[in-house]
Amino acid sequence: MSTGYTVVVPHERWPSNAAMQASLDARGYPVALVGGAPDAPFAVGSRGLELRLDGRSLTLVGASAAKVGAAAFARDETNDVLAGMGAAFRARDGDWHFGVGLGSEPREWRAAFLVMAALVQDFGGYGYETQTESHGDNAWAAALIEDAEQFRLQAAATPAAVPQPDLRLADPGGWTQEKTAGVVCVALGGAGLWVSLSTGNLLISAIGVMMVAMGVAVFFIRRKIA
């Protein structure tokens, strides 16, 4: 289950990629946007919002950014949601909506909170979240920053996954079923060759050779461990 956040930004103040990065840098938020021309509007790609947090790659797959034009605005429920929360703010035709759905990964929460805080603090955004009905501008952004620090501490306290050795090609050693099958194949193949020498039957001879070869291959196979 994910929690959804939205920040509405006036269309005339929606930043370029360069302006967004400058905001993050000026505030000391360790988020670096990835991709996109500097002068192009800040945007979310088809894979999500790709960035680096503390120098490590991260993609907010649940992120989106869209300018809500006249046709979409007529059907948009943002203002109904805000009114239901008691917010005085209202979105306008043409405003940009940045949204993100967050799950259980602390690094994703931290990165998303820092991005949303910058949109509010430097570009006149108004944010809200429907589950707790939290909403606001600068005070709301300040709460995001406090929570982002808690997510940083939580991520730091989570032990990194320890790589496990790949044992699929390991040889268990000793006598195995494969070796038994190999011995049987060699024995049957040898018997076939002996019969072919006695009878002159080339078909039996060919089958005997194949059985011996198969037995040798099976005997020396490296057994896979599930």
For the stretch 143-175, pLDDT in tens is 999 999 999 999 988 765 555 554 444 444 555
Instruction: Indicate the helix (H) or strand (E) that contains 65.
Output: strand 63-67
Query: Tokens in use for 144?
Result: 């995001």
pLDDT band at 223 (very low <50, low <70, confident <90, very high): very low
* Model confidence at 70: pLDDT above 50: yes
User: Is the C-alpha dihedral spanning 13, 14, 16, 18 positive or negative?
Assistant: positive
Query: Tokens in use for 46?
Result: 């088809």
For the stretch 98-107, pLDDT in tens is 999 999 999 9
Which residue pairs, CB below 8 angstroms and at least 24 apart, start in 141-150? 141/116, 141/117, 142/117, 144/113, 144/114, 144/116, 144/117, 144/120, 145/113, 145/114, 145/117, 147/109, 147/113, 148/109, 148/110, 148/113, 148/114, 148/117
Taking the model in full, what pTM does it have?
0.70
- The length of the chain, given as a count of residues: 226
For the stretch 7-41, pLDDT in tens is 999 999 999 999 999 999 999 999 999 999 999 99
Which residue pairs, CB below 8 angstroms and at least 24 apart, start in 79-86? 81/128, 81/130, 82/128, 82/135, 85/128, 85/130, 85/133, 85/135
Query: Tokens in use for 53?
Result: 């947090």
Q: What is the mean pLDDT of the chain?
A: 85
- Residue matched to tokens 């072919």: 196
Q: CA–CA separation, 34 vs 115, rounded Å?
A: 13
* Model confidence at 129: pLDDT above 90: yes
Query: Tokens in use for 210?
Result: 């194949």
Instruction: Indicate the helix (H) or strand (E) that contains 59.
Output: strand 56-60
